[in-house]
Chains A and B, each alone.
Chain A
């Protein structure tokens, strides 16, 4: 799952975003956050909104993976 999300975001986000960052949230602006939420919603058929865009959930690829997994469980 993590590899799939990483590869998806590498394809969809601008190359200025360092996806290996330990604090990914600080790398992102409002548009890239929207983009991530949209891309993950569309790819996994889950519902994400701006309440999911917290620094904790956007800390790293690992935390984003946890977010997707938990949304899939509650689908």
Chain B
């Protein structure tokens, strides 16, 4: 059984129940299932060569995404949703690579991420993994069939995509918003006639709510069953404030990644509000701490590998175990506590960015002679990306550089701060001295 089969099952049992609200419209389970069937039939007729089954598309933020995503699954094909603002050349590069890529039987998705290895690559997710993630979330966070779950993040990202799994497995209801740009959409979804609502918010989205909308959020305190956060570290002060604003809600901090799936979760509204604590492993998951203190994970939620890259797969997935770059420990209560990351990946707004990817694009610009990309702390936004660069132009046109980067990178990869410098510091063997730039006083641009 795959997740699309659950939608069909609910369409038969509760045909008129709303499956999804979006943009003022609602779609029942029967309507959703019928649309998936129709699209699936079309795909089966037009894409008969299943040796190369991956279909790359930009993820829209609406019911049509569900139709396309589940129709691909039902047709025995593989969904590869990309960020909606993916530049054309990046899209074509990925499409070309994946169009000749074969995948193991049972593969459902190829999700693009930076994640564990620090390089952008396609993570293969199986149908079995999707169902295991669904069951982990249902058991671990108490999803129920009378819940309205509000999607606020991009549907190609595991944080939001994984919430479709428990909701549709149970026959509960989704409300899809276009994101946090218009926060009124989130509150409009909370106003829908449901007794219990829940949502997933990355830490920067929680910051937006607490900074500008704390009073309004508090008005929904009786209705918000739970909020989950994850994908990036959340500040202790934000955790405490959220507990004060929503004293009755469960507030989860989750350990998950595209590669590992949903592993553990901790309700920090437990009177202790422990920072860095990510709870006990869920029923389909196991956590082992390596001798170096790094987190490794086992279980049914793990990826099958990286599409078309066996060597990269072997570097993180061996003997059914994923070896992450996250430092952590299991405490006396059996809970996972996270310390930080081993590699140079920058986590900004819940998105992981490999600095080398940004640097490679920056180095291709005629104005940039040398550069390094580093994390910087913004007083409101948290971790942002900063580009230190060397240029013959004095001063260089920073706005022009930023715009060229924006045309060639997804938005979240474009640096926020820029600093022109005389040289890029290197270590004795010629490598960029990333430690220097990580630790430098780069709090303001």
Contact of B184 among A28, A35, A50 (CB under 8 A): A50
Q: Which stretch from B122-130, B271-279, B330-338, B398-406 is at the chain A interface?
A: B398-406
CB contacts (< 8 Å) of A28 on chain B: these are: 181
CB contacts (< 8 Å) of B405 on chain A: these are: 16
**Known contacts A14-B402, A16-B403; A31 and B204 CB within 8 A of each other:** yes
CB contacts (< 8 Å) of B406 on chain A: these are: 16
Whether A37 pairs with B403 at a CB distance below 8 angstroms is no
CB contacts (< 8 Å) of A16 on chain B: these are: 399, 402-403, 405-406, 414
- A38: Cβ under 8 A from any B Cβ: yes
- A51: Cβ under 8 A from any B Cβ: yes
Q: Considering the chains assembled together, what is the distance between the CA atoms of A37 and B207 in angstroms?
A: 13
Whether B349 pairs with A31 at a CB distance below 8 angstroms is yes
CB distance from B69 to the nearest CB of A (A): 24
- Residues of A1-38 at the interface with B, using a CB-CB cut-off of 8 Å, are 14-16, 28-31, 33-35, 37-38
Chain A residue nearest to B152 (CB atoms) is A30
Q: Considering the chains assembled together, what is the distance between the CA atoms of A15 and B80 in angstroms?
A: 31
Whether B204 pairs with A29 at a CB distance below 8 angstroms is no
- A43: Cβ under 8 A from any B Cβ: no
Whether B380 pairs with A38 at a CB distance below 8 angstroms is yes
- B1: Cβ under 8 A from any A Cβ: no
- B411: Cβ under 8 A from any A Cβ: yes
**Known contacts A14-B416, A38-B212, A49-B212; A30 and B402 CB within 8 A of each other:** no
Report which residue of A33, A38, A50 has the largest number of chain B beta carbons within 10 angstroms of its beta carbon.
A50
- B443: Cβ under 8 A from any A Cβ: no
- A48: Cβ under 8 A from any B Cβ: yes
Q: Considering the chains assembled together, what is the distance between the CA atoms of A14 and B415 in angstroms?
A: 8
- Residues of B171-193 at the interface with A, using a CB-CB cut-off of 8 Å, are 179-184
Contact of A37 among B204, B212, B411 (CB under 8 A): B212
* A to B contact number (C-beta, < 8 Å): 59
Size range of the interface on A? 10 to 19
Report which residue of A15, A28, A33, A49 has the largest number of chain B beta carbons within 10 angstroms of its beta carbon.
A15
Report which residue of A14, A33, A35, A48 has the largest number of chain B beta carbons within 10 angstroms of its beta carbon.
A14
How many residues on chain B are close to A (CB under 8 Å)?
A: 30
- A67: Cβ under 8 A from any B Cβ: no
Contact of A15 among B213, B380, B399, B411 (CB under 8 A): B399
Whether A34 pairs with B402 at a CB distance below 8 angstroms is no
Q: Considering the chains assembled together, what is the distance between the CA atoms of A28 and B416 in angstroms?
A: 13
Whether A50 pairs with B414 at a CB distance below 8 angstroms is no
Chain B residue nearest to A25 (CB atoms) is B181
- Residues of A38-75 at the interface with B, using a CB-CB cut-off of 8 Å, are 38, 48-51, 53
CB contacts (< 8 Å) of B181 on chain A: these are: 28-30, 33, 53
Whether A51 pairs with B381 at a CB distance below 8 angstroms is no
Whether B212 pairs with A34 at a CB distance below 8 angstroms is yes
Q: Considering the chains assembled together, what is the distance between the CA atoms of A53 and B403 in angstroms?
A: 24
- B48: Cβ under 8 A from any A Cβ: no
Contact of B380 among A14, A35, A53 (CB under 8 A): A35
0/1 string, B195-213, CB within 8 A of A gives 1: 0000000001101100111
Q: Which residues of B contact A (CB under 8 A)?
A: 179-184, 204-205, 207-208, 211-213, 216, 349, 380-381, 398-399, 401-403, 405-406, 411, 414-418
Q: Which residues of A contact B (CB under 8 A)?
A: 14-16, 28-31, 33-35, 37-38, 48-51, 53
Q: Could you list 10 further interchain pairs (A-B, Cβ under 8 angstroms) beyond the known A29-B179, A34-B208?
A: A14-B416, A15-B418, A16-B402, A29-B181, A31-B204, A31-B349, A34-B207, A50-B208, A50-B216, A53-B181
User: Can you list 22 contacts pairing A with B, beta carbon distance less than 8 Å?
Assistant: A14-B417, A15-B398, A15-B399, A15-B403, A16-B403, A16-B406, A29-B411, A30-B205, A31-B381, A34-B208, A34-B211, A34-B212, A34-B380, A35-B380, A37-B212, A38-B211, A38-B212, A38-B380, A50-B182, A50-B184, A50-B212, A51-B184
